[in-house]
Amino acid sequence: MCALSGCVRGYDPHVTERPMPSELHADAHAEGEVEPVDVAVPEATDAKHARAVALTEVVKIAMAEPTSVLQAAARLEAASGRVATSDGRLLPGLSTDFRVRYLDGREIGSFGVIQQDVNFARYEPTAAFFYRNNPGAAGTGSKAERRFADAAGYDLKEAQRQAMLQAALSYQDIALTRASMAIATELMQDAERFYDIANARAVAEIASGADVARAEAALAQAQRTEIQARAFWKAASIRLAQLLRWDLAELLTTGDAEIGLQPVVDDASEANLTGEADRARPDVQAAKKRAEGGTLRTKQTWWDLLGPEVDASIGGRLLGTQMSRLAPTLIGYAFIGVSFDFEKGGRIRTAKGNAKALQFQAEATSEQADADIEVAMVNVQAAREAIPPARAEVDAAERSYAIELARFDAGTGSGLEVIQSQNMKARAKLSFIEQILRFNAAQIELAAAIGHLTPELFAP
């Protein structure tokens, strides 16, 4: 015997494979075919402290609060610091010092003449601008760091995209477990009704005790199913709260009592979606920027090997035996040369290899985006086409249950058939709601796949 408990156990959002990102393809015709399903759950003791949240609120908070987003923001800040460091290498530095020379003895004059014995302190404060660099390597390196900083900015957007996707899908999990509780409660009410009828027939000695035993077993199974459904709801709430860094003890639930189709974007052709993904997906853009940065790093190593190196300084020195009578003297030097060592040659090979790897990664990321959209469109189409049969299955299961219960009440049917029809009706309802939520999740996943997943998509 397969009751609703088996269906609920079979769908654990934490371990069950999800459909891949899919085409947001909910047109008005598909939306109008399905009426929203009421999933109001009777209030229980542990549900009194539940917090109702809207999907728009959840997705908006997912852009800023998850740990992955905060880590990406910190990496962006570090990348900005590296850009400032590389830019600083292009600018001259300032050096200053203050020297005091004590002389006790004889001093050689301007023409090599030995002066008489002297005894004095000479002050030599200096200040100079200096520049020691390989300008070509420094400039190219600065450009490379800017590309990597741009990639870090796209990484932040990618972390937000992934967090919003996880939050939206976790919200769908909560909606499904909430619906499971409502169906489990309805199944328990049906089991109680069947038990009352079986018990009354047994008292009137027009039914066997086996029917009463079956009714008791069905009621116990329905109670166990309701407990399992509530446990799955709590687990889904904890996962969403953990992602958003909320209080795990505060149970979360959806903000309304109905489940229906939620189209979030307009219809679009396959070619347009694929082209849009290359432009709008942050992971694709980040990979491209890193590939550009890798190419610039290779150029930087060539400049470091063959480019001219400049070492220059210009400034002034103040000389005198008294601080109030220091005389200025201009000092300066310049050096331009080229140095070569085998270490620099090894750096070129390393940079070339890294650049190739980054280029291959960029190509793979773009191909993955195209594949995500291809698979997504298949999943959305399948989920949409499965909704009408699921609706028909619910109607048939409800008619079957009504007929079997009436036959049992009239003494022409068996209790086993009533229990089977109860379970069939519960499974059909859960499957129908799951198909609706699968379609909604598929739309959300395609919005992420093409890079258009934003809180504004879910605004009422």
Q: Which fold has domain 4-83+138-297+344-458?
A: Outer membrane efflux proteins (OEP) (1.20.1600)
* Cα(122)–Cα(317) distance, integer angstroms: 12
| pLDDT at position 166 | 92
What φ, ψ does residue 129 adopt, rounded to 5°? -95, 135
pLDDT of 148-174, one tens digit each? Answer: 999 999 999 999 999 999 998 999 889
Q: Are 411 and 240 in contact (CB under 8 A)?
A: no
List the one residue out of 129, 1, 2 whose CA is nearest residue 431.
2
| pLDDT at position 120 | 67
| pLDDT at position 106 | 63
* Cα(336)–Cα(314) distance, integer angstroms: 15
Residues 6+ apart with CB under 8 A from 382: none
| pLDDT at position 207 | 60
List the chain domain ranges.
4-83+138-297+344-458, 93-135+309-341
Among the CATH numbers 1.10.3470, 2.60.40, 2.20.200, 1.10.287, which is that of 93-135+309-341?
2.20.200
Residues 6+ apart with CB under 8 A from 398: 425, 428
Tell me whether residue 341 is exposed, middle or buried, using C-beta atoms within 10 angstroms of its C-beta: 0 to 12, 13 to 18, 19 or more. exposed
Stretches in the chain below the pLDDT threshold 70: 1-49, 103-120, 205-208, 256-275, 460
pLDDT of 16-33, one tens digit each? Answer: 333 333 333 334 334 445
Structural element, H or E, at residue 313: strand 309-319
| pLDDT at position 293 | 95
The half-sphere exposure of 47 on its side-chain side, counting CA atoms within 13 A, is 16
- What's the pTM? 0.77
For strands 51-53 and 252-254, give the pairing: parallel
For strands 51-53 and 309-319, give the pairing: unpaired
